[in-house]
Structure 1
Amino acid sequence: MIELREEYKKRSIRFIDVWETQGWSMKLYGISYENEYPKNNLIQDAKELAVKILPLPAKTDARYGVGFIGIHEGAGANFIFIDWWSDENELNHHVYVASHDTPDHYEYATPKGLIACCWDLKVLSFERDSWVKTVLANPAGVPNIDEYMKLQLNEDV
């Protein structure tokens, strides 16, 4: 039987801001093992990574120019996931990991199959539900990107 390394502990998930860059509007979320928000340098690292990978132009026939970034200050490593919506209902998801031993070296983890941890999945699930509510199943019959960007997750899970 596999034993847990430590007992489950709730972590804070906090909406930080809407960050605008190169035509993109990205919701920023912080998740932390010990604090309410991740350290500022991790937030800056996430923005620098996003600038490198977000496709340009932000808005096309297939892309809305919106998405979200998760900055997870974990117990054993730091995780950054960068996600954006395209083709009406598809989420592009990219994960980067930096160990505490090499905090300035983020490895692209997506090709290894890493998707998300249980706390990151809460953000993904919330954003999925927000997208369906405001874009795909909007009662007005048209996507409401502004309303999507206003929905925020702030919870201890």
Structure 2
Amino acid sequence: MERELPGRLAMEAYRPRLTRALGVVERGQWVLKATGITATEELPSAAEVEAVSELVAGLTPGGIGYLIVHKGAEALWVLVGRWELDILYQRLFRATLGTTEFEEIPGGGPTACVWELAVIDQERRSWVRHVLSYPEQPRYEDYLADTTTIAEADR
């Protein structure tokens, strides 16, 4: 039996999105492994990534983690994930497509979409593999370099 949910929105069939490593962003007190995702075939531009880098530079506290820049169907989404031992702190921002005027999404709003969750899952696995598995000498550089599964995160 198919269940009907009240208020259900129209849904399209799932299709993987182009997802690529964008390098490491080091700004202010931040060191972030950056990943781009796109709903089209156009990854976030260098200007968009630079604007996101400037946004990150002003955030406190800093730390090590990941940055997802997702050129979605209706907005440019930015997820900033910071690891503190085995806990993930994440902030979400959005800008209208074609702009880099970001607004932070308050708590209680969206957290991540299915395409971003594929990258977050990869980041979790990478953090466990390179950092938490070596508590005496965490391998932060290996974590930052680990993009092996991001390119095909969900294909």
Work out whether the TM-score is over 0.5. yes
- Cα distance per residue 1:88-138 (max 9 Å; x no partner): 1111100001223x7233221142332100001111111111111111123
Q: Taking structure 1 as reference, are residues 110 and 120 closer, same or farther at Cα in structure 2, changes over 3 Å only? A: farther
Aligned pair partner of 1:8 in 7, 14, 33: 14
Question: Of residues 97, 101, 106 in structure 1, which corresponds to 2:94?
Answer: 97
Query: Which residue of 1 is the match for residue 137 of structure 2?
Result: 142
Q: Within 1, Cα distance between the matches of 2:21 and 2:111?
A: 20
- Runs of at least 4 residues off by over 4 Å: none
Structure 2 matches for 1:4-153, cutoff 5 A? 4-35=10-41, 37-55=43-61, 58=62, 65-86=63-84, 88-100=85-97, 103-138=99-134, 142-152=137-147, 153=150
Describe the SS at the equivalent of 2:12.
Answer: coil
Question: What's the offset of the Cα at 1:3?
Answer: 5.5
1:5, distance to aligned residue in structure 2 (A): 4.1
Identity %: 28
Distance across 1 between alignment mates of 2:47 and 2:21: 16
SS at match of 2:111: coil
Gap regions ≥5 residues in structure 2: none
Deviations 1:59-101, CA, capped at 9 Å, x for gaps: xxxxxx3111100000011100111111x1111100001223x
Equivalence for 1:155: 152
Contact 1:81/1:96, CA 8 A, preserved across alignment = yes
Q: Is the 8 A contact 1:14 1:36 kept in 2?
A: no
* Contact kept in structure 2, 1:12 and 1:156, CA below 8 Å: no
Give, as a single letter, the amino acid of the residue that structure 1 aligns with 2:65: G
Q: Compute the TM-score of the two structures, normalised by the length of structure 2.
A: 0.83
User: Scaled by the length of structure 1, what TM-score is found?
Assistant: 0.82
Please report the RMSD computed on the Cα atoms of aligned residues, expressed in angstroms. 2.1
Question: Structure 1: any 5+ residue segments left out of the alignment?
Answer: 59-64
What is the number of equivalent residue pairs in this alignment?
A: 146
